[in-house]
């Protein structure tokens, strides 16, 4: 289904009065991810889970004026592949206490399953979740476990089904979403549930999400455009590393155009898709047009929409980081879309120093905290 067909079908199916009165969560306006703590920690040598995030960090986030945190968690943090279905209580306690700290400090929390049995967005070609029933059963069992464990929690807790789905067709993912929602709702009928799309939760994949005829569903996307700004010099992104090598370390500022982009495309045939951006000035007007799929989704469906990740790498200038965050926040605010910045203490996109929790730039913090 293309975007035009999707939007037309949604508009026809949802009366205007229903769209205008759609139930929305009250505390998911401006937040931050607690990334690379109990998720994506595998590359860290001897990770100190106790020291990395503590209650004072949640208190600091609340003091900035943010209203929620997103807590990514990997399944293998608490479940061993050799013992499927056996969950380590001492590891689940980290989620327990973070939920308690958030509540104590007036913050909502989204529990995001960042890595699932048979699935990780960084393991392209190795994922089995969408093809093996045993992996799907384990995935659904995890959500049943979380639903039982946290069913006494109030509206301050939401469940995000899976981070950045790739290598699945829309039908494969939408089918598994429906089963996961049913598994959670069988235990906890009123829990808010966050559902993303495919293609790394891309904004232009929002039209691939099957809208569920169920209450308390929030739809989500991630936003990191343009990648040569937000992921410049990122060692895990080949395009960024190739550009950095070709330009001799050229910085890409925001707002502005990408330096030497035509020469780069000439030298690297794999990146011909970037030719449409040659000479384009990235600024708020460009970004607003780029976010049109989100605006269209909100208008057509009347459903709550949320940006669960957005951010600019620390290699960009602090002026670029500030201005990019300011523009993202302003546009999403106009759309009524909440957001969570990536990430509180992540080494590449950090808001605070890893060893001290001291903010790297208070103006950036103030911008990201605006509601």
Of 307, 348, 351, residue with least CA distance to 329 = 307
Locate all alpha helices (DSSP H) within 276-361, ordered by sequence. Answer: 284-290, 292-301, 318-335
Query: Token pair 């969408």 is at which residue?
Result: 130
Burial 85-120 (b: 16+ CB within 10 A, else e): eebeeebbebbeebbebbbebebbbbbbbbbbbbbb
In DSSP notation, 203-232 reads: GGGGGGSPPPSSSSEEEEEEE--SHHHHTT
Of 79, 160, 164, 167, the active-site residue reads 164
Joined tokens for residue 302: 């009347």
What is the token pair recorded at 177? 């979403």
Torsion 222-226-231-237 (CA) sign: positive
Which listed residue (309, 319, 353, 363) is catalytic?
309
Cα distance between residue 348 and residue 351, in whole Å: 9
* Cβ 53 vs Cβ 37: under 8 Å: yes
132 tagged catalytic = no
The 3-class secondary structure across 230-256, one letter per residue, is HCCCCCCCHHHHHHHHHHCCCCCCCCE
| Residues whose CB falls within 8 Å of the CB of residue 257, separated by 6 or more in sequence, listed in order | 279, 280, 281, 282
For 54-184, where are the E strands, in sequence order?
68-74, 108-115, 157-160
Question: Taking a C-beta distance cutoff of 8 angstroms, is the pair 325, 366 a contact?
Answer: no
CB 210 within 8 A of CB 186: no
* Under 8 Å between Cβ of 105 and 62: yes
Beta bridge partners of 110: 70, 158
Cβ(102)–Cβ(109) below 8 Å:
yes
Does 309 qualify as catalytic in the annotation?
yes
Residues known to be catalytic = 164, 309
């Amino acid at each position: 289904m293309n975007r035009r067909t999707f939007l037309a079908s949604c508009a026809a199916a949802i009366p205007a009065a229903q769209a205008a009165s759609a139930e929305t969560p009250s505390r998911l306006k401006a937040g931050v991810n607690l990334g690379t703590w109990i998720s994506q920690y595998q590359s860290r040598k001897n990770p100190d889970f106790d020291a990395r995030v503590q209650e004072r960090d949640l208190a600091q986030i609340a003091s900035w004026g943010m209203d929620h945190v997103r807590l990514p968690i990997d399944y293998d943090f608490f479940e061993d592949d050799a013992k499927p279905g056996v969950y380590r209580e001492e590891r689940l306690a980290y989620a327990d206490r973070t939920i308690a700290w958030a509540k104590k400090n007036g913050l909502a929390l989204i529990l995001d399953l960042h890595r699932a049995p048979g699935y990780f967005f960084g393991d392209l070609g190795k994922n089995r979740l969408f093809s093996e029933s045993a992996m799907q059963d384990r995935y659904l069992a995890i959500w049943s476990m979380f639903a039982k464990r946290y069913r006494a929690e109030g509206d301050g807790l939401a469940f995000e089904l899976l981070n950045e789905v790739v290598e699945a067709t829309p039908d494969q993912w939408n089918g598994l979403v429906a089963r996961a929602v049913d598994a959670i709702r069988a235990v906890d009928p009123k829990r808010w549930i966050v559902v993303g799309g495919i293609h790394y939760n891309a904004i232009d994949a929002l039209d691939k999400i099957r809208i569920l005829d169920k209450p308390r569903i929030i739809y989500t996307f991630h936003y990191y455009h343009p990648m040569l700004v937000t992921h410049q010099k990122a060692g895990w992104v080949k395009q960024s590393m190739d550009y950095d090598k070709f330009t001799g370390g050229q910085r890409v500022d925001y707002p502005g155009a990408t330096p030497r982009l035509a020469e780069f495309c000439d030298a690297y045939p794999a990146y011909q898709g970037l030719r449409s951006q040659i000479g384009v000035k990235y600024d708020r007007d460009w970004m607003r047009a780029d976010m049109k799929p989100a605006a269209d989704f909100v208008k057509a469906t009347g459903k709550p929409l949320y940006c669960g990740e957005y951010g600019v790498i620390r290699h960009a200038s602090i002026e670029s980081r500030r201005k990019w965050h300011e523009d993202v926040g302003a546009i999403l605010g106009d759309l009524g879309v909440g957001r969570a910045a990536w990430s509180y203490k992540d080494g590449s996109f950090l808001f605070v120093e890893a060893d001290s929790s001291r903010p790297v730039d208070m103006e950036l913090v103030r911008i990201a905290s605006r509601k």
